[in-house]
Amino acid sequence: MGRLLRRNIWIEAGISLFLMLFFIYFYCHIDQWVIETLPSTISPAFFPSVVTLVLIIMSALLTGFCLRSVRHMLAGKVDEERLELQEGGEEAGRFAALAGYVGILFLYLIGLHFIGFVYSTPIVMFLVSLMLGLRHWLIGIVCYVLFTLLLNYVAFNFMQIILPTGVLFG
């Protein structure tokens, strides 16, 4: 088994374990961070708590898969598919795509602060869909704008959540 493959398995295991612990910490402190702005029948922390629980479950599954890969690596078993990806050079392309997604995520967080949810979300959805190979971009833009407006309406009127408006337009 190659040195690069071993390194990638350890990195994946570390990232998945970090994510699981981060989301558990976030879930334990979510009541302190959520601010009640409108009176409601349910706690304003309900929706973030549900999302955090789903993320904890997904992180636990990812951690389990990574620990299985570590166990196979230590036992000397080789995952043929991962070895083929590494030899074909596709592993580096996957890392570049992941770095692109992380970069878009940070731009999205900055955009949420400055221009708000309604303006930044369709842009980010469009950029991610371009990375995934979007062909009919005009239909995509219309769908992204409509979905964002619908989500903003549902969040405000039904779930009583005020999404970020941004410091430039707020």
Range of the domain at 57: 1-88
Q: How many folded domains does the chain comprise?
A: 2
Q: Each residue of 119-141: pLDDT tens digit?
A: 999 999 999 998 888 888 899 89
If asked whether residues 1 and 77 sit together in one domain, one would say yes
Q: Is the pLDDT of residue 1 over 60?
A: no
**Closest to 151 (Cα-Cα) out of 127, 131, 130, 122:** 122
If asked whether residues 74 and 131 sit together in one domain, one would say no
CA dihedral 160, 115, 33, 42 (to 10 degrees): 10
Q: Each residue of 21-39: pLDDT tens digit?
A: 999 998 998 888 777 766 6
**Closest to 111 (Cα-Cα) out of 160, 47, 37, 169:** 169
If asked whether residues 5 and 84 sit together in one domain, one would say yes
Q: Could you tell me the pLDDT band of residue 61, with boundaries at 50, 70 and 90?
A: very high
**In the 8-state DSSP scheme, what is residue 162?**
-
**In the 8-state DSSP scheme, what is residue 129?**
H
If asked whether residues 46 and 108 sit together in one domain, one would say no
The percentage of the chain sitting over the pLDDT mark of 90, rounded to a whole number, equals 29
The answer to whether the beta carbons of residues 123 and 148 sit under 8 Å apart is no
- pTM, to two decimals: 0.56
If asked whether residues 103 and 127 sit together in one domain, one would say yes
If asked whether residues 120 and 40 sit together in one domain, one would say no
Q: Each residue of 86-121: pLDDT tens digit?
A: 665 555 666 778 788 888 999 999 988 899 899 999
If asked whether residues 26 and 84 sit together in one domain, one would say yes
If asked whether residues 76 and 110 sit together in one domain, one would say no
Task: Among 88, 105, 139, give the residue marking a domain's end.
Answer: 88
Supply 38's token pair: 């409108």
